[in-house]
Amino acid sequence: MTVEKCPPNVDENDCVILFDGICKLCNAWCKFIIKYDARQCFKLCSVQSPEGQNILEHFNMPTAHFDTMLYVEGNQYFDKSDAFLNVVNKLGFPWRILYVFKIIPKGIRNWFYDRIALNRYSLFGKYNSCMIPSKENDNRFLKNKSV
């Protein structure tokens, strides 16, 4: 979905991945992104953070219940399987190969995505609080630009 202007703290050329900060699977995904995003294209942002909440509000998304990863490029966002596929496509080779799954109808892709997303806590567990970025990875996380 595209809106007229970018969300707070997001510039036109920013690529932001919103993730559930207490989900162990989501945190593993973030570690994967940090490891394989050699060009440092992506900024990560927990949906529980003030910045994440502002982005969700900007796109009229729920701010208390999170059932999808969100991928934001400037003033547009992608959710569920589209978010995942757009991220791996931008990661480059060999991960870009997974983009071939885009040929599967979106309804089917999202059905599989939802099975994992809706059961992620029981399948993978959750943390009591959001992870705090390490000093070496702090620059990979979206920051409030007014501070």
Could you give the 3-state DSSP secondary structure of residue 43? Answer: strand
Q: What pLDDT is stored for residue 2 in this prediction?
A: 61
Q: What's the order of all strands across the beta sheet hosting 76-79? A: 42-46, 15-19, 70-73, 76-79
pLDDT per position as a tens digit, 90-138: 998 999 999 999 999 999 999 999 999 888 888 888 877 666 767 778 8
Shortest CA distance to 16 belongs to which of 58, 123, 110, 125? 58
CB atoms within 10 A of CB 88: 19
Report which DSSP code applies to 22: T
**pLDDT tens per residue, range 18-51:** 998 888 888 889 999 999 999 999 999 999 999 9
